[in-house]
Amino acid sequence: MAVVMRARLALALLGVAGCAALHPTGASRLVASRAVPRASRARMELAQAGAGDANERIGEMIGSNKIMVFMKGSKLMPQCGFSNAVVQVFNSLKVPYATFDVLSDPDIRQGIKEYSSWPTIPQVYVDGEFIGGCDIVVEMYQKGELQELAARVSAE
């Protein structure tokens, strides 16, 4: 709950309205047992196989972009206040960055949370390293740390 309050405070400082709904912090649980019908078990196995593909795709996106933002919506049309705040921060820095709309791909939407062990979106990666979500990006921006990091990475 403290993370939610910090995110709302950070958004208020930026003058951005937040998402109507926040992601739950608990991970989804799939339990395979003998009571699970064969067709359901097959779907779960298929979903687990797709998770490997999602991790591969996530790794490729992070590896091929100096600054990568996994967000709801796009740079031009963010679909969440937290995503919008991150876009506004990076736009103000005038550095190139890539985005991926997690709403367009459920495998990536769930996979990115597992990839980073971070339960919420947006998620920001700089030079292959997970930085954090909206609250951390805004805090780094306010301290001047994000400007330095972005300048260093974009100059390489």
Domain extent listing, the chain: 39-155
pLDDT tens digits for range 22-58: 333 333 333 333 344 444 444 444 444 455 689 999 9
pLDDT of residue 67: 96
3-state DSSP percent of the chain in helix, strand and coil, to 5: 55, 10, 30
pLDDT of residue 155: 84
Q: What is the CATH number of domain 39-155?
A: 3.40.30.10
> Hey, what's the torsion of the CAs at 78, 61, 111, 134, to 10 degrees?
-40
Q: Are residues 156 and 66 in contact, defined by beta-carbon separation less than 8 angstroms?
A: yes
Mean pLDDT of the chain: 77
Positions of the chain with pLDDT under 50: 1-49
Helix (H, G, I), strand (E, B) or coil at 56: helix
Q: Which helix (H) or strand (E) holds 5?
A: helix 2-14
Q: Are residues 67 and 126 in contact, defined by beta-carbon separation less than 8 angstroms?
A: yes
Helix (H, G, I), strand (E, B) or coil at 98: strand
Residue with tokens 């991926």: 100
pLDDT of residue 154: 84
Q: Quick one: which of 155, 83, 64 has its CA closest to 122?
A: 83
